[in-house]
Amino acid sequence: MAHGRKYSIRVTVGGLLILATLITGLVALALQFHFTKEMTQEGLLDRLGLTSEAISADIAKLDRDAHFTGQLLSQVAKGALAPEQRQRRIELLKQTLDGNPQFYGAYFGHGDGEFVQLMNLNASHVLRENLGAQDSDRWALVHYEQQSGQRVRVTRLLDDNLNQTHREQQPDNYQPSQRAWYKGAMRNGSYKTDPYLFHTVEINGQTYAHRVADTDVVVGIDVVLSSIARKFNDYTRYHDVIEATEAYFFDHHGEIIAANQTVPASAPLPPSRPLPLSAEQQQYIAQLGTLTVSNQDAWEPMDFSLGGVPKGYAIDMFAIISEMTGIPFHFSNGQSWNQLRRGFIDGDIDILHSLQRNLGSRHLGLFSSPMYTMPFALMTKESTPVTRLGEWQGRRLGMIAGWSIIPALRTHYPHLEVVEFYDLKPAFDALRDGQIDGVIDASDVLRYKVSQYYFGDATIHENLSDLDNRYDGHFYLVVNSEKSQLHQILNLALANISQEQRTALAQKWLQAENGRPSARFASIVPHKAVLDIIEREEGLGQLQRLTLNKEPAYVYVEHVGNFNQLKDYIAVILPESHVDQLVLQRIAPSALVTAAIILALLPLAWAFSRPIVRPILQLRRATIQIEKRQFDQVEPVQTNIKELDDLSRSVNQMADTINAHEKAQQAFIESFIELIANAIDDKSPYTAGHCHRVPELGLMLAQAAEQCQEGQFAGFAFANEDERREFRIAAWLHDCGKITTPEHIVDKGSKLEAIYNRIHEVRMRFEVLWRDAELDALKQLADAPEKEADIQARLAERQQQLQEQYAFVANCNVGGEFFDEARIEKLHDIGAQTWLRHFDDRIGLSPQEETLLCDDARPLPAVEPLLADRPEHKVSARHDRENDPALGITMVAPLLEQNLGELYNLSVGRGTLTAEDRYRINEHMVSGIKMLASLPFPPELSRVPRYATSHHETLDGKGYPRGLVGEQMSIPEQILVLSDIFEALTASDRPYKRAKPLSVAIDIMHKMALNRHFDPALFRLFLSSGTYLRYARAHLAPEQIDHVDIGKYLKTEGADAPKAAVSQPEHMTE
């Protein structure tokens, strides 16, 4: 009797009810929390989606307005191009900007150098400050004049009525016809530039240019990028989202045009040391004015522009030089390297930098001392180390167009093909696509680009000895040869840059900062997932949940323009953690209220919950039983609630329907599988019944393993009928790949057999030799009748020799004996005999046979060998035999699909199959793996592909197709290995062998077990359980079932046989 405190049934049941109510309340509270969170998230994310769409729509509208306004202006301007209509053109520009206040400026550029630009002072406060405009000034008009043989830029400030309020001028060699917007419009009719610094004032933006009809006049509309950045901040400024949201406007390469935030850069550079300058040098600098410096668009991290703003290692060096000397610098970008170089030669650019000194560049001017040193490196997809570029003779190498070392490379390495690209991004794409073999550039630039474009499988080869010896890796400043004093000052400034400053520059641009990306990554959208979206063009215009920097985030990416085939995109990113934080703040009060209501309802739950909860829980258990496919255990729920009773009946009816449907589907699938097996068996009369017998034997042996109570089989058993069915289906499908194996190879009963047995051709050649011998004898007899006896004797001897030789060849064709070297030599001696062919062997051929001919026709009559391996006997593989590494297939395919050579086939050592034939037969396993891997097996049949394709594996790893070893093979797989072998040994329908008696088959299998072809313990169970004999009585001919002394096999290596649950059968006598 149990002891302890007792409780009344009311307290027990009441306590359980209260507990159940509390649990139910907590579940309800959790559900409310979950769904409220989802609703709040959806609302917030919908708002973010609308914000993203609004930003996208606004930018797209700006893009569209600029394009169509420029197009309209180009059409209207056709009638106002005469010199006397200049005021009319200015009024057109004013009307254009009046109607579009977001435009920075508009202008006309002529091929002869004439240029008129009107700028909207209200479009940018930077423009107003740079020009010193007053509040009353509304417009700035810029045009160029020739004064005393010098080109001068004239800038006029105008009020709203175009009345001049201020005028200034300065020398300027600006030529509109040399600008990218002019050339692009003249070439394409319309053109949109990448971001660049506007020439008039240092404001970054983009130009929309259109050619006026067939003239040399181009109209341009300028849009400043600062207005786009402001839109990002305006649209994302609600609640706390602005601090967490990342918004980017970027091009199809991922290069940022504008953003609402930037990647944090490193700490400011160390201050410069004072630079001692002479009074003459200081006076020279005072008169020098602002110098124009080249700025490349995309040579990160050394020299590039972000949205037209100069950035990079070299740009910071100019900032240091400016701090030391007081020289103001203006940067010119938006042009290719060749255009920058041409601008320097023409005098538009004062300083060309990041240039190497060699034969192709020495003539440009005065070279400074080195700015910095970067050796060249080679980037490849191959990981094999490269130490000398000379090792790469015959390869294709990509480089940026305009590199001064390209002519020298082509001279020093004439066998290398140098392919020039306008940027490294297309060069990387060409390398990834296999169009080139490598890319050459400065080592730091390549390392940066690999990180920038996420080129993870690239290898950078540095310390190329021959390149380092020929090119020192120094990069210089270049000034005009007439500016020797400026050259001297720049050299002093470069020498004055401290080691601390150079270290800070390297940390800022060439290294990572405390585990965070350095400022160099600010030029590209810093999220690979966003770049993948625009590359695949999948998911555009959709709000997606992605993982960025190992943190989940919501991402919206949209295409915002396709002007002149230049695609721009917008991306808005919001971290999920920020969304969760907002959600928690909003739902906390409602969750507390809900919890209070649940506590208040506990008394009611005491009274009313039970009649409802009990049947519902029972129905829930019924659905779980259905989910687990335990249909027979589903029972009706007893309840007085009509709806629940109807639901219970429906659940039971559904269970019965699903059960019946599943059984029908299973029957259909198994019937279909058996149909496939029958088709495979029917394909060849020699293997008929194999696909039936292996499953039957496998199930017999599996049952014996389940009933065994010892050794490795003690814990083996199919957990349920689904696992047994899985094994059975796998056994039926074990040779499904043979459906692709040619019948004439499966049925190959002799070595010369192809579609038919070619021994008949060989015999006919012997007949020809026989007739030739008779004809020779008759000719000799006609010439010397007195030697008839000797002639007849030699004829008889020759005919006897031919009989013996043919018998030898025919015996070789059967393939019953091991073919040693002596027999091979004899075969070749016989085959070397010749006969005379008088008929053309190239007529009457099929198209396929004609494709195999690879030598010229010989004149007739032609001497032919008795046996030969001809080139047309070698049939190349008709398809790629490379297999997906994920399939784990280790089989090595021969070079040929088939070799029909007569000597080659007759020389096969064992059996009738060549190496090519054997692979074609073994290839059925590869076909089986691919066929079964493509089928959507349900979970309960998930191991069918593995079971069905492992019956040719061995314990020692020498099997095929995967080369598995013992510990990698399960008991069901090993059962199918043994079953397939035993059936093959005892089958009476194999073309290449006679059926083995039972004792011989068992002895062969014993030797195979000792050689670890399959598990010895399983072999002993096969014998001790009597499985071998039960199968033999069912499927072997009576004359095959002889006496087998299994006792000598059950004590092998001192191991006792597992004791099967069935008794050992009485041995059969011969």
3-state secondary structure 144-158: EEEECCEEEEEEEEE
List helix spans (H) across 934-1046. 944-948, 971-986, 998-1010, 1016-1024, 1027-1035
Which range has highest mean pLDDT (110-114, 235-239, 660-664)?
110-114
What are residue 696's DSSP bridge partners? none
Going by C-alpha positions, the residue among 221, 205, 273, 242 that lies closest to residue 70 is 221
Query: What pLDDT is attached to residue 219?
Result: 92
User: What is the enclosing helix (H) or strand (E) of 265?
Assistant: none
CB 776 within 8 A of CB 769: no
What Cα–Cα distance (Å) separates residue 359 from each residue in 363, 409, 475, 636, 917?
8, 12, 14, 95, 64
Type of residue numbered 765: R
- Angle at 98 (CA atoms; ends 96, 104), nearest 5 degrees: 75
DSSP secondary structure code for residue 334 in this structure: S
CB 282 within 8 A of CB 488: no
| Distance between CA atoms of residues 438 and 379, nearest Å | 5
Write out pLDDT tens, residues 683-699.
Answer: 665 566 777 788 888 88
- Residue 9 confidence class, pLDDT cut points 50, 70, 90: very low
- Angle at 808 (CA atoms; ends 805, 810), nearest 5 degrees: 110
Q: How many CA atoms lie within 13 A of 218 on its CB side?
A: 29
| Distance between CA atoms of residues 543 and 540, nearest Å | 8
User: What is the enclosing helix (H) or strand (E) of 460?
Assistant: strand 459-461
CB 1031 within 8 A of CB 697: yes
Query: Among residues of the chain, what percentage have pLDDT more than 70?
Result: 84
Query: What pLDDT is attached to residue 1063?
Result: 32
Query: What pLDDT is attached to residue 370?
Result: 92
Q: What is the mean pLDDT of the chain?
A: 79
Between 322 and 245, name the one with better pLDDT. 322
Architecture of the structural domain at 84-222: 2-Layer Sandwich (3.30)
CATH superfamily ID and name for 265-373+474-520: Periplasmic binding protein-like II (3.40.190.10)
Longest dimension (CA), the chain: 140
Going by C-alpha positions, the residue among 885, 852, 763 that lies closest to residue 813 is 763
Query: Among residues of the chain, what percentage have pLDDT more than 90?
Result: 4
Going by C-alpha positions, the residue among 102, 107, 97 that lies closest to residue 77 is 107
3-state secondary structure of 135: coil
Taking the mean position of all CA atoms in its chain, how far away is CA 535? 13
Radius of gyration, CA atoms only, the chain: 44
SS3 string, 783-847, reads HCHHHHHHHHHHHHHHHHHHHHHHHHHHHHHHCCCCCCHHHHHHHHHHHCCEEEECCCCCCCCCH
| Distance between CA atoms of residues 948 and 87, nearest Å | 88
Q: Quick check: do 265-373+474-520 and 375-472 share a fold?
A: yes
- Residue 755 confidence class, pLDDT cut points 50, 70, 90: confident
| Distance between CA atoms of residues 731 and 948, nearest Å | 6
58-72: average pLDDT: 82
Going by C-alpha positions, the residue among 539, 579, 544, 573 that lies closest to residue 559 is 539
- Reading the block at residue 491, the tokens are 């050299």
- Reading the block at residue 708, the tokens are 């065994």
Instruction: Compute φ and ψ for 553, nearest 5 degrees.
Output: -150, 160
Which residues make Cβ contacts (< 8 Å) with residue 468, sequence separation at least 6?
Answer: 375, 376
703-723: average pLDDT: 84
Between 600 and 999, name the one with better pLDDT. 999
- Residue 44 confidence class, pLDDT cut points 50, 70, 90: low
Please determine, for residue 385, whether its predicted confidence score (pLDDT) is greater than 70: yes
3-state secondary structure of 353: strand
Query: What pLDDT is attached to residue 16?
Result: 64
- Indicate the burial class of 995 (C-beta count within 10 angstroms; 0-12, 13-18, 19 or more): middle
- Residue 770 confidence class, pLDDT cut points 50, 70, 90: very high
What are residue 196's DSSP bridge partners? 205
Please determine, for residue 480, whether its predicted confidence score (pLDDT) is greater than 80: yes
765-788: average pLDDT: 88
- Tokens 């009074």 correspond to what residue? 279
| Distance between CA atoms of residues 871 and 933, nearest Å | 38
- Residue 606 confidence class, pLDDT cut points 50, 70, 90: low
- Reading the block at residue 779, the tokens are 């000719």
3-state secondary structure of 138: coil
- Tokens 């950045």 correspond to what residue? 229
Structural domain boundaries in the chain: 84-222, 265-373+474-520, 375-472, 684-747+920-1054, 759-912
3-state secondary structure of 544: strand
DSSP secondary structure code for residue 338 in this structure: H
CB 995 within 8 A of CB 988: yes
Across the chain, how many H-helices and E-strands are there?
35, 32
3-state secondary structure of 898: strand
- Read out DSSP for 860-896? SSEEEESS---GGGEEEPSS-----GGG---PPPPSE
For 375-472, the fitting CATH number among 3.10.580.10, 3.30.70.20, 3.90.1150.10, 3.40.190.10 is 3.40.190.10
Which residues make Cβ contacts (< 8 Å) with residue 558, sequence separation at least 6?
Answer: 52, 53, 56, 540, 541, 569, 570
- Reading the block at residue 135, the tokens are 């509040």
b/e map 829-841, b = 16+ CB within 10 Å: ebbeeebeeeeee
Fold classified for 684-747+920-1054:
Hypothetical protein af1432 (1.10.3210)
Type of residue numbered 1030: R
Q: Length of the chain, please?
A: 1070
Write out pLDDT tens, residues 520-566.
Answer: 445 677 787 888 888 787 888 777 888 887 888 888 888 776 554 55
Going by C-alpha positions, the residue among 965, 953, 911 that lies closest to residue 928 is 953
DSSP secondary structure code for residue 456 in this structure: T
